[in-house]
Every structure is written in C-alpha cells, then in structure tokens.
Amino acid sequence: MAYMIPIYVNLVMNGRKEIEDVPANLRGQVKAKVDELRQEEQRILLEETEAE
C-alpha cells in the first residue's frame, strides 16, 4: 500500500485532505513527507527573500 503515500501527500499538501483523514497505517509516513516538503518550501521562500 506504499503506492498510496504520494497520493495522500499530494492531497494533504493541496489542502484536499487533512492528515487525520489519512489511514492510520500510512499516517506516519505521509506526515513525515508532508513535513519534509513544507520545510523545503520554507527554505526556498527564505532564500528567495534573502536574494531580493
């Protein structure tokens, strides 16, 4: 069922699902990936702001 992780990550990142809506057996992996992607977004935004 690991093939579902990117699908749920996409849904959560785009605000279509909440992390609580993810099945319990996938929630930890999905949350970890979502957190990683959000940190990456913040890092990129910070770099862009500093470059201006």
Residues spanned by the domain of 18: 2-51
**Entry pTM:** 0.88
Q: Tell me which residue of 5, 25, 26, 8 sits closest to 17, measured CA to CA.
A: 8
DSSP 17: S
pLDDT for 15: 97
Number of structural domains in the chain: 1
Cβ-based neighbours of 26, under 8 Å, separated by 6 or more? 1, 4, 5, 8
pLDDT at 3: 96
For residue 31, the model assigns a pLDDT of: 98
pLDDT score, position 42: 96
From the DSSP assignment, how many helices (H) and strands (E) are in the chain? Answer: 2, 0
Query: Which parts of the chain have pLDDT scores under 50?
Result: none
